[in-house]
Structure 1
Amino acid sequence: MPSRNVHSRIHVLAIGGAHQFGHIVPVACELARRHPGQVRLFVSAEAEVAAAMAYAGQGAAPEIVVMRLPAVTALLPSSMHKFVRLTLWAKRLRDAAVILCAERTSTMLKRLPGDCPPILHIPHGAGDRAVGFEPRFRLFDHVMLAGRKDRDRLVEAGFVRAQDCTVTGPIKLAAVLDNAQARPPLFDNARPTILYNPHFSKKLSSIEAFGRGLIAAVAADGRYNLVVAPHVRLAKRWSAAKRRAWEALAIPGQVTVDLGSPRCNDMTYTLGADLYVGDVSSQVYEFLVRPRPCLFVDAKGVDWQDSEDYAMWHFGEVIAPDADPVAAIERAFAAHGDYVQQQRERMTYTIDGIAWLADGTPTFGTRCPVREAADTVERFAGLRTKAIAAIA
């Protein structure tokens, strides 16, 4: 445990995009409630301030700092902006008792010259892909994880020592469910709603091979609604013309095409849909807070059956991109009972503390992942003992 005694500031880095905010901002707000004026939340752009505050919930909010860059930075490829931002802001970012982040590029703060406080990490999501388990985890002083699955894979791979990680439970899921309010249905009709949630990676995504065919088949069949909501990073790489072409496929009252609105990140679609169709996105674990039918598209001919990287594909049928979408959807609804036990077992392994009431409502009981994560940050900042003493 670090014995650092610099000052009591806590710096929270939310510089990986708005899709990561739900995994880290609730903890920043809980820390701000406990330690007013001592928590700073760093974001990349002015546009992200409102998105960050959308996760503030009720109570205190941290000071928000926009990490602006010199105008000349615009001449650099966008892929370099995060590295430049971290380098130019390193002195201020490291002027804290502890740093908390949701992405792993921030580990470069450890490698830059000068002193660096402990860096703690909350991964954004709990998916199965191997990219979620990689050597940069060794650079964190402590990692807080959604469940035993992630802990076991990281420890077995040698990327994290058992004593350097804590299973707090899922920050985003717990925060959303804790503040859940009745949401309007995704469509104003009684048709079942399908969520199509392809991944952003060209090497893994099914959208080009399957997406248009799915939209056309659902529209022609007429029995289902469809939300096409890919990972928000996917469309960021597209030209304006390509975005317009995909958005033009929407059909009012039946097909929604959402390429990156806040509803893609706040679980509006994963909570509101009746069937999940996807490939390798970790959002399937958000969908399965209430076990429901799933369907997966193998667009790359993967040998997946015994791979932990594709464990989620045991939650439903796996089809080829040229399969009949409507027939597969019908089978998914009809056969869901064959997969419910597997879905529940994997969820309890992946999402620590989750359980279901008799009516299927998800619950974490007395567990509060946000508070548990905040407790861990306090300990590394040297504030935990003070907080306990203040309560006493």
Structure 2
Amino acid sequence: MARAKRVCFLYIAQHHQVWHSLSVAVAMAKLWPHIEVEIAATTPELLDYVSSLLSELGGADIKLVLLPPAWLRRLGGGGPPKAPMLIANAWRLAKYDAVITPERTTALLRRLGVRHPLLVYTQHGAGDREGPFEPRLKLFDLVMAAGPKQRDRMLREGWVTPASCAMVGYPKFDLVDALPPRVAPRFDEQRPIVLYNPHFHPELSSWSRWGREVLDAFAQDDRYNLIFAPHIRLFETASSDERAGFKAYAEHPHIHIDLGGPAAADMTYTKLADLYLGDVSSQVYEFLRTPKPCLFLNASGADWRGDPSYHHWLYGPVLDAADHLGEAIDMAFATHDDYRQAQIQGIAETFDVQNTPASERAARAIIEKLERAT
């Protein structure tokens, strides 16, 4: 009798990445019980976070594993460094039949000589930024795509082949839809809610150049409620003094500050907000699951027209300066109908929606790849 296949869903980065593959692990454990599903993480906090989500989902036959060594967890402000943790655990991970990950650093296992397990990359977003389209994708046996836009670009640029790419939809939506509603911020006055969501990339983000100017504009203008929830990596290693610098903004009853909490990853804010204000984060696509107004900040002076990495800037006005922000927001609300069709088309290109849930489609793609590798 053939032994059961063992697969590992690996989390070595920030908690927001859990949302891009956990529903796949649950679907696999429930629909393919002959597969032994394990989840491995590099910190107790991350494993507790996974455990709490599994409990909310009603549980699943999944083993949770804390990866050693403990001393590596004391290095780095944002969790243990990924490459050393992979080096330290290469022999453990080599024993699985598949290692499934939402981040690309795990491709290092191939450089370390780990050959047996299939390497599966689920992605952790469906944005347009060119950074994720890169050579490490070639080291994975299977790369997921949320929709035709992502799949076609990876194929066109040669990062995947038809055999190594599976278009499965967006498993994060399955997890968000399956969980109870999260507690959303409450404002004293009912006003339109703006989500300011700058990216962490220093050369592309609006934060370093215009961020304080944006927050000051909202502090001085209470016609809108503001949620400031940047990409969680932006302030991941910020000191307590740096974080304390936002206290004055948070004291305004119409401003909510979240520098990296759970709600910054679970779509609480993208579902709640009425307008998206940002730059290059893929979260704009989660926001546009329901078409709504957008306003983009070109703080880097990018020559963006016709560049696929800025395709989402077709979904709303683009500002080349941060002054008169209130007027620009007014205009973005007033002219949303001019961008609605582009948003609808963009969402259709980004997320392949079918009757079968994305998490089940992704799990099936992994199972089929495992069976072909036997």
TM surpasses 0.5: yes
Change (3 A) 1:112 1:384: closer
Aligned equivalent of 1:10, options 3, 7, 17 = 7
Tell me the equivalent position of 1:32: 29
Q: Distance between the aligned counterparts of 1:43 and 1:167, measured in 2?
A: 26
Q: Distance between the aligned counterparts of 1:189 and 1:79, measured in 2?
A: 38
Question: Over residues 100-123 of structure 1, what are the superposed CA-to-partner deviations in whole Å (9 max), with x where a residue is unaligned?
Answer: 111111111112235421111100
Alpha-carbon shift at residue 319 of structure 1 (Å)? 0.5
Q: Distance between the aligned counterparts of 1:18 and 1:377, measured in 2?
A: 23
Tell me the equivalent position of 1:372: 361
Q: Distance between the aligned counterparts of 2:215 and 2:61, measured in 1?
A: 41
Q: Distance between the aligned counterparts of 1:73 and 1:14, measured in 2?
A: 14
Tell me the equivalent position of 2:297: 297
2:287 partner letter: F
Q: Distance between the aligned counterparts of 1:115 and 1:172, measured in 2?
A: 29
Question: Over residues 59-113 of structure 1, what are the superposed CA-to-partner deviations in whole Å (9 max), with x where a residue is unaligned?
Answer: 4152111113252774689798211111111111121111111111111111223
SS state of the match for residue 227, structure 1? strand
Q: Distance between the aligned counterparts of 1:61 and 1:17, measured in 2?
A: 24
Q: Distance between the aligned counterparts of 1:317 and 1:226, measured in 2?
A: 19
Q: Distance between the aligned counterparts of 1:161 and 1:26, measured in 2?
A: 25
- The answer on whether the counterparts of 1:231 and 1:264 sit within 8 Å (CA) in structure 2 is yes
Q: Distance between the aligned counterparts of 1:205 and 1:117, measured in 2?
A: 37
SS state of the match for residue 236, structure 1? coil
Mapping of 1:49-60 within 5 angstroms? 49-56=47-54, 57-60=57-60
Alpha-carbon shift at residue 185 of structure 1 (Å)? 6.2
Tell me the equivalent position of 2:315: 315
- The answer on whether the counterparts of 2:182 and 2:268 sit within 8 Å (CA) in structure 1 is no
- The answer on whether the counterparts of 2:194 and 2:274 sit within 8 Å (CA) in structure 1 is yes
Mapping of 1:1-392 within 5 angstroms? 7-33=4-30, 34-35=32-33, 38-56=36-54, 57-71=57-71, 74=74, 81-179=81-179, 181=181, 186-353=186-353, 366-382=355-371
Change (3 A) 1:214 1:109: same
Alpha-carbon shift at residue 321 of structure 1 (Å)? 3.6
SS state of the match for residue 234, structure 1? coil
1:28 partner letter: A
Alpha-carbon shift at residue 338 of structure 1 (Å)? 0.3
- The answer on whether the counterparts of 2:94 and 2:114 sit within 8 Å (CA) in structure 1 is no
Q: Distance between the aligned counterparts of 1:152 and 1:142, measured in 2?
A: 15
- The answer on whether the counterparts of 1:209 and 1:299 sit within 8 Å (CA) in structure 2 is yes
Structure 2, unpaired ranges of 5+: none
Worse-matched range after superposition: 317-326 or 222-231? 317-326
Q: Distance between the aligned counterparts of 1:271 and 1:61, measured in 2?
A: 30
Alpha-carbon shift at residue 55 of structure 1 (Å)? 3.6
Q: Distance between the aligned counterparts of 1:55 and 1:381, measured in 2?
A: 27
Alpha-carbon shift at residue 7 of structure 1 (Å)? 4.5
Change (3 A) 1:180 1:146: farther
Worse-matched range after superposition: 291-300 or 85-94? 85-94
Structure 1, unpaired ranges of 5+: 354-363, 386-392
- The answer on whether the counterparts of 1:37 and 1:62 sit within 8 Å (CA) in structure 2 is no
Worse-matched range after superposition: 144-153 or 205-214? 205-214
Provide the aligned C-alpha RMSD in A. Answer: 2.4
SS state of the match for residue 81, structure 2? helix
- The answer on whether the counterparts of 2:97 and 2:116 sit within 8 Å (CA) in structure 1 is no
Alpha-carbon shift at residue 228 of structure 1 (Å)? 0.4
Alpha-carbon shift at residue 372 of structure 1 (Å)? 0.6
- The answer on whether the counterparts of 2:78 and 2:236 sit within 8 Å (CA) in structure 1 is no
Change (3 A) 1:384 1:28: farther
Sequence identity percentage: 37
- The answer on whether the counterparts of 1:204 and 1:300 sit within 8 Å (CA) in structure 2 is yes
Change (3 A) 1:50 1:75: closer
Alpha-carbon shift at residue 163 of structure 1 (Å)? 2.1
- The answer on whether the counterparts of 2:188 and 2:253 sit within 8 Å (CA) in structure 1 is yes
Question: Over residues 198-217 of structure 1, what are the superposed CA-to-partner deviations in whole Å (9 max), with x where a residue is unaligned?
Answer: 00111111113222222222
Give the TM-score taking structure 1 as reference length: 0.88
Tell me the equivalent position of 1:361: none
Change (3 A) 1:127 1:223: same
Alpha-carbon shift at residue 233 of structure 1 (Å)? 0.3
1:246 partner letter: F
Change (3 A) 1:7 1:107: farther
Change (3 A) 1:328 1:29: same
- The answer on whether the counterparts of 2:74 and 2:80 sit within 8 Å (CA) in structure 1 is no
Worse-matched range after superposition: 217-226 or 194-203? 217-226
SS state of the match for residue 41, structure 1? strand
Q: Distance between the aligned counterparts of 1:189 and 1:300, measured in 2?
A: 34
Give the TM-score taking structure 2 as reference length: 0.92
SS state of the match for residue 382, structure 1? helix
